[in-house]
A = this chain, B = another copy of it.
Amino acid sequence: MQVYEAPLRDMRFVLHELHGLDTLRELDAFAEIDADLADSVLEEAGRFSSEVLLPLNATGDLEGCHAENGVVRTPAGFKDAYRQFREGGWPSLASEPDYGGQGLPESISKLVEEMTCGANLSFSLYPGLTHGAVQALKAHGSEELKTLYLPKMVEGTWTGSMCLTESHCGTDLGLMRTRAVPNEDGSFRITGNKIFISAGEHDLAENIVHLVLAKLPDGPPGVKGISLFLVPKFLPDAEGNPGQRNGVLCTGIEHKMGLKGSATCQMSFDDATGWLVGQPHKGMAAMFTMMNEERLGVGIQGLGVGSAAYQAAVFYAKDRLQGRSLSGVKRPDLPADPIIVHPDVRRTLLTMRANVEGCRALGIWVAQAVDLSKHAKDPAARQNADDFVALMTPVVKALFTDLGFESASHAIQIYGGHGYIREHGVEQYARDARIAMLYEGTNGIQALDLVGRKMPSNMGRLLRSFFHPVAEWIEQNRGHASIAPLVGHLERAFGALQLATGTIGERGLRDPEEAGAAATDYLRLMGLVAMGFMLAKSAAIAAERVGENADETGFYQAKLQTVQFFFDRILPQTASLFLAIKSGKASTMALAEAAF
């Protein structure tokens, strides 16, 4: 059963109690944000997700998108839902006020994204890419382009797309074939074919603004010869309204494992008119502004679907009667006990729950750092926040999406054979969640980004933005009255992470393949330690407040128990990961290509 309800209590915990809005409220940009405003935004977003988006999730999967003669029709109900989404002001939530945005912090916006993704991942792709496109355009576009496009994009009347991939190149964009030729008026003619373009064409918005990577005639070979262009579906007329149709066409949509309500388009650019965004040949840098934004967003997709899958699994585990508790009949009034009495069912549910709560806490930490990196008054604080975001972006993207898919698969398992049947709705979560491990850079690419770029960057300065607060907190809490054992566990796991970092750093200097062979295990190790840190901090808060207020005791008790489960049953994975990393690259690289 798809039963998504936004987990508002835990979201408030993460926002107010764990991270706190105070740090942000000291910044000019967020001086007006208070807890009540944040809570009412979350509450309203929760209602919208459950009432408007959730009912279209399964129907959208069943119906899919339709493409004919370049026109793409989204599933029944999506158009009306998007209209409500836009009218409700949701697209502009975290955009800065200069182009009409509401200027809310990323931390609130990411919680709202979690809800949207939890209720309807396919739907989330339509507004989802616009936000990143807005960021890229703001950072790199000319004033003229910004004035013309940003207000419409911020309000969601026009949506964005990100056109990178071609059939023969995804990760390796240096192989790109799409070309841009200058016109005399300063615009360019773009020609080429792109694939896997989410929301490249649809019927939800009056215009679509494509950000397209292409090569200029004088561009050097490889990724250093790539530039970024803005190519609208309709060329704006003198009043800035959609005018003449541009030379860009959707030639087909993909038939995918899931995410069927989201149109994944093949796009053909045929002398399409475009405008340069940023400097010539510096398209990769401009695109990465958008890409990094999207990578955090994709992590949140994993979290959202994981949370929805957890809720579906809990619903069924309380409802399904099968067998009797090993510690004696629990429901003599029923022919059997609900399966939630069984230890292995609880273990599965708690695994999902602990991972969801750990990811949420970590994700909002990073989101808060995004805001600090832009708005902190102290340049050192901005730099530190920026370092942290850069370091954690690949971790959030890969860890959250791996765990989101795992949670969806766990939900299927809780349903038994019924989980495999379409009408129960949980197999859709697995099919939908699977994409998030692939797009915006596969999770393997995230791991390489972590060990190859982020870890060695500035002599390890990025690492310190994470290691220092962890070390400091451990130091302060080693003798904690109620959670000292958790702190001890965290310290051991953190020790393993530090050792692994040293090992990879040292070996990787000599031989980059050593870092490559360790990358995925290292990312997971860092992710588990980061979740462990967030959850241990959460436990410290919960331990303090558990007795304060009878209404809230249940929540804090549950938090403590969930954290304990994470430390007992999930964090120990760090031990194996450390051993695997330590073994080095030899056995990964030995087998001859022909022998595979």
Interface residues of A (CB under 8 A from B): 165, 168-172, 174-175, 196, 254-259, 314, 317-318, 321-323, 326-327, 335-336, 338, 340-350, 353, 405, 409, 412-413, 416-417, 419-423, 427, 430-431, 434-435, 437-439, 442-444, 447-448, 511-513, 516-517, 519-521, 554, 557-558, 561-562, 564-565, 567-570, 572-576, 579-580, 583-596
Known: A257-B412, A343-B517, A347-B588. 20 other contacts (CB 8 A): A170-B417, A171-B416, A175-B322, A254-B422, A255-B423, A256-B420, A327-B511, A340-B596, A343-B513, A344-B519, A350-B588, A353-B596, A413-B443, A430-B434, A431-B431, A554-B595, A561-B590, A570-B580, A572-B580, A572-B583
Q: Give the CA-CA distance A562 to B568 in the complex, in Å.
A: 32
Can you list 28 A-B contacts (CB < 8 A)? A170-B322, A175-B336, A254-B420, A257-B430, A258-B420, A341-B593, A343-B517, A343-B519, A344-B448, A347-B517, A349-B596, A350-B588, A350-B591, A413-B443, A417-B439, A419-B438, A420-B434, A554-B592, A564-B587, A564-B590, A565-B587, A568-B587, A569-B580, A569-B588, A572-B576, A572-B583, A575-B575, A576-B576
Whole-angstrom distance from the CB of A582 to the nearest CB of chain B? 9
Contacts of A165 in B (CB 8 A): 417
Whole-angstrom distance from the CB of A544 to the nearest CB of chain B? 19
User: How many chain copies?
Assistant: 2
Contacts of A350 in B (CB 8 A): 587-588, 591
Given contacts A348-B444, A565-B587, A572-B579, contact A422 B323 (CB under 8 A): no
Q: Give the CA-CA distance A557 to B306 in the complex, in Å.
A: 42
Q: Give the CA-CA distance A595 to B437 in the complex, in Å.
A: 30
Among A257, A336, A350, A413, chain B packs the most CB atoms within 10 A around the CB of A257
- Cβ B175 vs Cβ A340 within 8 A: no
- Cβ B169 vs Cβ A589 within 8 A: no
Q: Give the CA-CA distance A124 to B595 in the complex, in Å.
A: 29
- Cβ B409 vs Cβ A513 within 8 A: no
Given contacts A318-B596, A335-B175, contact A588 B343 (CB under 8 A): yes
Q: Give the CA-CA distance A346 to B442 in the complex, in Å.
A: 15
A62 to chain B: closest residue by CB: B255
Contacts of A345 in B (CB 8 A): 444
7 closest cross-chain pairs (CB), A and B = A343-B516, A568-B583, A572-B579, A257-B427, A343-B517, A558-B595, A326-B512
Q: Give the CA-CA distance A588 to B344 in the complex, in Å.
A: 8
- Cβ A561 vs Cβ B591 within 8 A: yes
Whole-angstrom distance from the CB of A158 to the nearest CB of chain B? 25
A560 to chain B: closest residue by CB: B590
- Cβ A412 vs Cβ B438 within 8 A: yes
- Cβ A318 vs Cβ B444 within 8 A: no
Contacts of A420 in B (CB 8 A): 254, 256-259, 434-435, 438
Q: Give the CA-CA distance A443 to B574 in the complex, in Å.
A: 24
Contacts of A341 in B (CB 8 A): 593
Q: Give the CA-CA distance A21 to B448 in the complex, in Å.
A: 46
Contacts of A520 in B (CB 8 A): 344, 347
